[in-house]
Structure 1
Amino acid sequence: MKTPTFSIILPTYNRRSLLPRAVESVLAQEYTNWELIIIDDGSTDETKEYVIGILNNKIQYHYHENIGRSASRNRGLEKSKGQYICFLDSDDELLPNYLSCFQHNLNNTLDKLFLSGVGLVGNKSVVKIIPSSNRSTCIVQCLEGYFNLMPFCFHKSLLLTHRFTESIYYGEDYKFLVPIIAHNQIAISNIVTSSVHQHSHRTINKVFDNISDGYEQFKNSVLKTLDNNFDSLSRYIASDKLIEIKKNKVVGYILAAAKYNFVGATKLNKQQNIIPISTFKLFIQRVKGIIQS
């Protein structure tokens, strides 16, 4: 097998029912010089049996005990042979044009970081998120959380020493991504090439079970990352806008947490004095459908 152009790293944990959709989306790629690296983070369902049944010279499978998504992605990076690195979560999917879009762009630029559009798939609709062609606006989109890792493609040279922080399970992709965005040009495509599926069992929702620990994770990943890269980001974004983004990230965390752990979010909001109580209560009422927004 020739050296793959793209390595697609797919960590998974007990997602046997969802994993085939992600894997099949890789198999359906128009551009075919790729390798898929599936990292099983200690699944106890039938994930292993499924993957063994589809293994070939383009698909790797590696199993380890449950140590988290960040460690799984790092192991995938260690195993990768491709010149470019992409990430796919086991509950999402790539569109057939995903790799061909990146391949077209990398042939026309010296940039090492690529970003395409993504579709957010709900029960009845698909919302398309398109990155702005204006660099400053695009960076703001990234900082505000419009994109996860999937619509990005990284030249491997960007990741020779850059890794995911394995002690963090919330905001680990944010901490990984922001320094790269702050120091590299982004080659933008306005084509949608992947789909994020919204559902109640997404990993991010589990962070709200222990909301105090989750908030510490949030501070160590999202808030510290913004602080550590403030000067670099300030070359493209006004300082007051960065401060506003940081404030909004805190508010967003509390409101998102309130949907899953009302008691914990209320206690945390009172301790941190983040949102006025009247605003917080109004939000909860709307979530519960007590009044119309």
Structure 2
Amino acid sequence: MLNSPTISIITPTYNRAHLLPRMLDSIINQNYANWELVIADDGSKDNTEEVVLNYKDSRIRYFKSDNRGATVQRNFGVSKATGDYIIFLDSDDWVEKDWLEKLTSNLIPENNNVIVTCGWRKVNQNFNEIEKGYPENLGPMFNNLKLNFLSGTLLYPKKYFIEIGGYDEELPSGHHTEILIRLLYLIKKYKTQIKIIEHPLVNIYIHSGLRIRHNFDGIYQGSKLILNKHLGLFEKHPDKHFDYLSIIAVCAYRTGRTEESRKYSKKAITIKPFYYLSYVRYLIANTPLLGNKVWGKKR
């Protein structure tokens, strides 16, 4: 492996022309120079193209296609990437000047089976820090790996992404969790070394724009698909199985799927029959007045 490998940064974007300059400037100003930024524009209707093309840097590669969703664009972005390592960065976030320098300094010459993970900080619309996060133990279902997989926090070999087939384009939510489940096999297969940077290098912008955390229908559909797709794994880990059943039950109720909410609340009881919250959620799902008050209901 070269001492200075090319890092491919993949950024899907949609109608964020007003936010892109901050992200672009943070990449341009990196201490580490051997990078490329692949921007996959998901059919933006604003002046995103104009904003990006105003940056006269050959390392920035811009592609625009029809609106197909962020997951499709992430996969497309990797298909255009030329680097040995990839990292995903959302178009509304930005990174510290030494982001790539610190990530790449943890790569190991002659060993391309290395993953590097770092911390993050969340920033509100007034640019005040509201939370910090560091690589942490993800628990038994993820082989007790210690890492982050939010925007900009996970650098890994492009060959891994290609071998597992990229993101599941059918998922409306939970993309990062689901791809990590599939990455577990390769991490073990290649005896991957995980290098940890106990420092927040990525700024995650929390704003009022469209974000998946506000989309209860997307969370319901995505959580259900992930659970069904990896049911065998979830059955070996009751805590995570219970969590997903509970998420599905709550989001089902909030989107007017009351029968589904009752069904998944009841399933959760079978996973944790001695846990009081199992029965509390089942009661809420079966009591409309209580459910509407506690969880709310989509009209």
Q: TM-score interval w.r.t. the shorter chain?
A: 0.7 to 0.9
Contact 1:149/1:173 (8 A) holds in 2: no
Segments of 5+ residues of structure 1 without an aligned counterpart are 232-238, 289-293
Amino acid in structure 1 at the alignment position of 2:14: Y
- 5 Å matches for 1:139-288? 139=142, 147-161=149-163, 162-184=165-187, 185=192, 186-205=194-213, 207-208=215-216, 211=217, 214-221=219-226, 223-227=227-231, 229=233, 239=236, 242-252=237-247, 255=250, 257=251, 262=254, 264=256, 268-273=260-265, 275-278=281-284
How far did 1:270 drift? 3.4
Amino acid in structure 2 at the alignment position of 1:270: R
Change (3 A) 1:146 1:56: closer
Out of 95-104 and 76-85, give the one that drifted further: 95-104
Amino acid in structure 1 at the alignment position of 2:282: P
User: 2:276 is matched with which residue?
Assistant: none
TM-score by length of 2: 0.75
Rounded Cα–Cα distance in structure 1 between residues aligned with 2:145 and 2:150: 8
User: 2:108 is matched with which residue?
Assistant: 107
Contact 1:39/1:72 (8 A) holds in 2: yes
Q: Larger radius of gyration, structure 1 or 2?
A: 2
Rounded Cα–Cα distance in structure 1 between residues aligned with 2:79 and 2:25: 24
List per-residue Cα deviations over 1:196-219 (Å, max 9, x = no partner). Answer: 2222324304632xx3x7523322
Rounded Cα–Cα distance in structure 1 between residues aligned with 2:248 and 2:94: 26
List per-residue Cα deviations over 1:256-291 (Å, max 9, x = no partner). Answer: x49xx8463766523533623349988976789xxx
User: 2:273 is matched with which residue?
Assistant: none
Rounded Cα–Cα distance in structure 1 between residues aligned with 2:83 and 2:109: 19
SS at match of 2:87: strand
Rounded Cα–Cα distance in structure 2 between residues aligned with 1:85 and 1:253: 32
How far did 1:85 drift? 0.3
Amino acid in structure 1 at the alignment position of 2:231: D
- 5 Å matches for 1:33-44? 33-44=34-45
Amino acid in structure 2 at the alignment position of 1:172: H
Change (3 A) 1:137 1:116: farther
Segments of 5+ residues of structure 2 without an aligned counterpart are 267-280
List per-residue Cα deviations over 1:147-179 (Å, max 9, x = no partner). Answer: 425200011221233311222221222222221
TM-score by length of 1: 0.77
